[in-house]
Chain A
Amino acid sequence: MNPVARIALIVAYAVLALAALGRSSYQIATKLSEAPVPYLVSGVSAVLYLVIAIALWRHWAGVALVGTAIELAGVLTVGTLGYVEASWWPDETVWTGYGSAYGWVPLLLPAIALALLLRERRARANDAGPAPAQEGTS
């Protein structure tokens, strides 16, 4: 992955982690009983953002790939459930409305990160070349 894109992603994930950690820790600490599902989802998203930022920094491609895939699935699931089953969500999460409260960054960011990570993975597989054919099996 282009190092500029990689560091830009790390910065974006660090900012989102900061925002989500602040928001969720406040909500969980002060009013968890009011809306446990949304606040715990926000907490999970905060941890996920932090893990992805660290994985991108440490070059843990597998962790980053799985993390962004879970994140994208989470945004799409929570965003859709917010419209389909509004009663389940007495308050907003980071992923509500597909991340509309955060300028849809929570939706765009995993899509961009996934595309870049998958491209990098393909490039690495191409560089490794095809596996040599095995000879003389038993």
Chain B
Amino acid sequence: MELYTGVIHPLVLVVSALLALAGIATLVWAPAHRALRVLVPVTYVIVAAHTVTVAFLLFTGTDVDLILTLGYVIASVALLALLGIGRLGTPEAAAADPDPHRPVLTAVQVTRVDAAAAVIVAVALAVVAWRVLVILQGAA
């Protein structure tokens, strides 16, 4: 439990904050997209660590609502799919899709979409981590 409250949870919050900052910076200044692209795999790793830690706590006897906690953990993993969603709007991706309404984005628009998605995902990840913390602390 100390590992979760002392290391994993603060790490998730720090990465969420960095992701939000990088997203806002990219919205303002497109070259900051490089920093955002570095942060995406870091976020994957931290969310994976968060998932493993919570799963470990759940299966080692922490008395919490299993469905609710797992629901939040699954939600945090599902959110990762939205990171870098701008790639779906590149001309190559759009050309492979028969949908005529699929947006085709310019390079700058791809960075803006990635940035907006990063800000939304960052906020959602922080909220999910906070909810998991509340649940786990309630059981402690």
B120 x A8 contact (CB < 8 A): yes
Chain B residues within an 8 Å CB radius of A122: none
Chain B residues within an 8 Å CB radius of A12: 120
- Judged by a CB distance under 8 angstroms, whether B93 is at the interface is no
- Judged by a CB distance under 8 angstroms, whether A124 is at the interface is no
Q: Which of A13-21, A37-45, A85-93, A113-121 has 4 or more CB atoms under 8 Å from chain B?
A: A13-21
B82 x A15 contact (CB < 8 A): yes
- Judged by a CB distance under 8 angstroms, whether B10 is at the interface is no
Docked CA distance A82–B19 (Å): 35
A4 x B116 contact (CB < 8 A): yes
Within A1-48, which residues are at the interface with B (CB < 8 Å)?
Answer: 3-4, 6-8, 11-12, 14-15, 18-19, 22, 26, 30
Chain B residues within an 8 Å CB radius of A59: 101
The verdict on A19 contacting B124 (CB below 8 Å), with A8-B116, A14-B82 known, is yes
Chain A residues within an 8 Å CB radius of B95: none
B85 x A11 contact (CB < 8 A): yes
- Judged by a CB distance under 8 angstroms, whether B9 is at the interface is no
Q: Mark B84-111, 1 if CB is under 8 A from A, else 0.
A: 0110010000000001010111000100
- Judged by a CB distance under 8 angstroms, whether B68 is at the interface is yes
Classify the secondary structure of A's interface with B. Answer: helix
User: Please, which residue of chain A has its CB at the minimum distance from the CB of B106?
Assistant: A3
Docked CA distance A59–B116 (Å): 20
Q: Tell me the smallest distance from the CB of A129 to a CB of chain B, in Å.
A: 22
> Which of A7, A19, A58 sits near B85, CB closer than 8 Å?
A7
- Judged by a CB distance under 8 angstroms, whether B139 is at the interface is no
B103 x A7 contact (CB < 8 A): yes
Known: A12-B120, A19-B75; 18 extra A-B contacts, CB below 8 A, are A3-B104, A3-B105, A3-B109, A3-B113, A7-B85, A7-B86, A7-B117, A8-B120, A11-B117, A11-B121, A18-B78, A18-B79, A18-B124, A22-B75, A26-B68, A26-B71, A30-B67, A103-B123
What are 21 of the A-B contact pairs (CB < 8 Å)? A3-B103, A3-B105, A3-B109, A3-B113, A4-B113, A7-B117, A8-B116, A8-B117, A11-B82, A11-B85, A11-B116, A15-B79, A15-B120, A15-B121, A18-B78, A18-B79, A18-B124, A19-B124, A22-B74, A26-B67, A26-B68
